[in-house]
Amino acid sequence: MVPDDSMFVDLYGRFERDPDIDLGTLPDDVYSLFVSRSTALRLTGWNGRGRSTRAWSPASAGPADGPTAAGLVAWYQVTVPAGVDRRPLPVSACAAVAGDVLGRLGRFRAHGVHVLAPLHDHADALLDLAGELNWFTPRRHELVDVEVKLRVPTTDGLTPDRLSDVQTVFASRNVESFALTLDRVEVDAKPRQETAPRDAMWWQGHGLASAVFAGRVPGDDLDAMSWLAAQVLDCTWRVGIRQTTSVEVFTAPADRHRTW
C-alpha cells in the first residue's frame, strides 16, 4: 500500500519544452523546481526532525519515462504531515504547483490529473472546499465534460453501494458548475496481475473496486480537474472509506494511460 503519509500526483496533457531553457537534466529540473516553488509559496517547511510543518514535504518527482502517446508528462510525490489539526490533503495546491513547474519549463496543456492518496481518520475532509468556488465563477459558461474514475482496494465489507454513495454526498453539496453522475461500479475481488512493480507495492495484490462517473468542470484546465479530484476524495472519506484511494479526472478518455 501507499505509505499513510504519501500522496502522488500525475499530470497528463501536451507539453513542449522551451528550447531556450537549459537547467540540466529534466528529472532534476522537475524536482528542484517543485521544491523551489513549494518553498516560495510557503507550502513546505521542516522542523528539526526533517518533517514538514506545513502542507507537504517534496519527496520525489520526475518526467514521464520516455515518449508516450498516453500523455503522461510528469509525476510528483509528497509527504503530507499526519494528525496535525486534522489538516486536509492539499490536492489542489499540489497540482497547481506541479503545473507551475511545467509552465516554467515550457508550454503545458492539461488533459488529466491522477491522484493517489491515503484516506484515514486524521486526513479529514478537505474542509472549506466550497470557499474556493469563486475562483471558477467568471468561467461558468465554459463547461467541459470529463470522466472520473475512483478506485480503492477490495476489502471485507466494501460494497458497491459504498462507492455509489460518493455521488450522493457530492450531489448534497449543490456545487454549481461542477457535476458528478455515476456511470457504473465494478468490483474485482481477485488479486490483480499488476504490470508494474510499483503497482504491486501499492496495492499488495488486492483486487480493486472502481466507480466510473461522468463529470463536468468549468474549464478544461488543471485547476478545475484537480478541484473535482479533491472533492471526490473528500466524498470518499465521508462515506467511510479509509484506504489508499486513486482518483483520475480526464477530459479525453482516449488520452488516458494508468500508471497506478
DSSP 180: E
Question: What is the model's pLDDT at position 114?
Answer: 93
d(CA 91, CA 165): 21
What is the chain's alpha carbon radius of gyration, rounded to the nearest angstrom?
A: 18
Whole-number pLDDT of residue 51: 56
Neighbours of 63 (CB within 10 A): 19
Return d(Cα 75, Cα 81) in angstroms, integer.
20
**Contact yes or no for 248/112 (Cβ under 8 A):** yes
Phi, psi (5° rounding) for residue 188? -110, 100
CA nearest neighbour of 91 among 252, 202, 228, 243: 228
Domain boundaries, the chain: 6-123+138-255
- Segment 52-74 mean pLDDT: 77
Burial of 236 (0-12, 13-18, 19+ CB in 10 A): buried
Instruction: Name the residue type at position 164.
Output: S
Report pLDDT for 90.
87
Determine contact, residues 78/7, Cβ cutoff 8 Å. Answer: yes
pLDDT band at residue 259 using 50, 70 and 90 as cut-offs: very low
Among 20-34, 114-128, 147-161, 187-201, which range has the highest average pLDDT? 147-161
Amino acid at 219: G
Could you read off the pLDDT of 113-168 as tens digits, one per residue?
A: 999 988 866 444 455 566 677 777 756 557 899 999 998 887 756 777 888 999 99
Q: pLDDT digit string (tens) for 210-257?
A: 899 999 998 888 999 999 999 999 899 888 888 888 999 999 654 444
Please state at what angle helix 160-171 crosses helix 222-238, rounded to 10 degrees.
Answer: 120
**pLDDT band at 170; cut points 50, 70, 90:** very high
Query: Has residue 8 got a pLDDT over 70?
Result: yes
